[in-house]
A = this chain, B = another copy of it.
Amino acid sequence: MTPRKPLPTLDDVARHAGVSTATVSRCLNNSASVRGDTRRRVTEAVEMLGYTPHFGGRALASNRTNTIGAIIPTMENAIFARGVQALQESLATAGVTLLVASSGYDPDRELKQVSAMLGRGVDGIMLIGDARLQKTYDLLLARGVPYVLAWNFRSNSQHTWVGFNNRLAMRPLVESVLAQGHTRIAMIAGITSFNDRAVDRLAGARDAIEGAGLKLPAKLVIEAEYVPAAAGAALRKLMSRKSPPTAIICGNDVLAAGAMREARALGLTLPGDLTIVGFDDIELASLVEPPLTTVHVPHRRMGQTVAKLLLAMRDQETVGQSVEFQTEIVERGSVASV
């Protein structure tokens, strides 16, 4: 490995171009007051030396980083990956860099990540949902760094939200299952600890079931980690009951796909023997057999909106206006009448 070379500095560029560092700085920041001639000499020198502004120096002097942070539970979840990708693309067009960290659904780790990002001087932060330590909010508020909560929605909230109401979104899906005559319905939910989306989806399913005069007993609710195998184990447990459910609501598409695989392994015919529905409408949903009936969520648009909002909050130092998205059921064929 070549030894670490010292980066060319503003000073080097200035000397090469025969101007002062101030002028170079002005050129780089597109400040208007630079003569075309001078500007050309400077940009030439920049080219020649392969100069890149030093981020630290810049942050120190300007108290601006052109950086937005995003802390998500995990990158391995396609819905966040997609949203973050869109967020990054939107920010990039504004010349802003995205800093991504993942908390692994651990609130303590999230707090540390927020703290680290504040130290890095991010101009704004995206967080997922609102299930976290109060201390995390305190930190954000104390610093006055704008933040947006995403992937869920609450009205009349003190926070700025970009997302959809997970509870309300789940309800019509379950109602459509109920409409097929199912009365013994179970749920394979995501882990609800520090996950408001999982909590709300479960609550929405319960709303629908109880709204139909039925019950969702605790024994028919199993929480599973975000991997197909966990859903498979849950399904096996549910189907081994004396009177097994005829329909299973899954907290998301990955769980639904895992449940389907296990159901097939048990020799069940889908959807004839068992109705299974998911949530999120990731690519996977249309690739399994039978294709999954699920709830479509506009992940990319949410990411784009978060970008727009955070930049506005940063520039206008204004409070952010929450944006609520609507979801819709996508009927594909994993639901049958009882």
Contacts and interface: CB of A to CB of B under 8 A. Distances in A.
Interface of A: 1-5, 7, 50, 52-60, 65, 74-76, 78, 81-82, 84-85, 88-89, 97-102, 104, 115-116, 118-121, 139, 141-146, 227-228, 254, 257-258, 260-261, 264, 283-284, 286-289, 313, 317-320
A289 B257 CA distance: 11
A287 B313 contact: no
A320 B116 contact: no
- Shortest 5 CB-CB contacts between residues of A and residues of B: A56-B59, A52-B119, A2-B144, A55-B120, A56-B56
A255 to B, nearest CB: 11
A332 to B, nearest CB: 11
A60 to B, nearest CB: 4
B4 A317 contact: yes
Contacts of A85: 74-76, 102
A257 B1 contact: no
A191 B118 CA distance: 40
B317 A53 contact: no
Contacts of A118: 7, 52
Contacts of A52: 115-116, 118-119
A109 to B, nearest CB: 8
A198 to B, nearest CB: 19
B99 A99 contact: yes
A257 B283 CA distance: 10
B102 A320 contact: no
A145 B4 contact: yes
Contacts of A1: 144, 146, 313, 317-320
Contact of A261 (B75, B145, B258, B287): B287
Contacts of A286: 228, 261
Contacts of A78: 76, 78, 81
A28 to B, nearest CB: 11
A58 to B, nearest CB: 7
A43 to B, nearest CB: 15
Given A52-B115, A52-B118, A81-B76, A144 B4 contact: yes
Contacts of A2: 141, 144
Contact of A116 (B88, B97, B144, B146): B97
A190 B42 CA distance: 42
Contact of A287 (B88, B257, B320): B257
A196 B264 CA distance: 38
Nearest to A5: B144
A52 B142 CA distance: 12
A85 to B, nearest CB: 5
A109 B287 CA distance: 32
